[in-house]
Homo-oligomer: A and B are copies of this chain.
């Protein structure tokens, strides 16, 4: 089923940008607000927002608004899902 591969490809696509990997690493040390991420990440505010959307949609990050600040934190589900896909890909369990 072609759709399946597209969903799975999207998961890895989220991990295929250096800035996004850096964001994930920074978040490993705990929840951060967007403004804090911006300090560490020589990119514009709109670019950061764009990356965060991709990471959230792929399940790697959770967001929660606290007042006017947006707080981001690691969502373990994304990692579990990515590892599961890798595992299935490796053991020939994907359904056609």
Contact = CB atoms under 8 A, between A and B. Distances in A.
Interface of A: 2, 5-6, 8-10, 12-13, 15-22, 24-25, 28-29, 74, 76, 79, 82-83, 86, 89-92, 94
A8 B91 CA distance: 23
Number of copies of this chain in the oligomer? 2
Given A21-B89, A25-B94, 13 more contacts: A2-B18, A5-B18, A8-B18, A9-B18, A9-B20, A10-B16, A12-B16, A16-B16, A25-B92, A28-B89, A28-B92, A79-B90, A83-B86
A29 B96 CA distance: 13
B29 A5 contact: no
Contacts of A86: 79, 82-83, 86
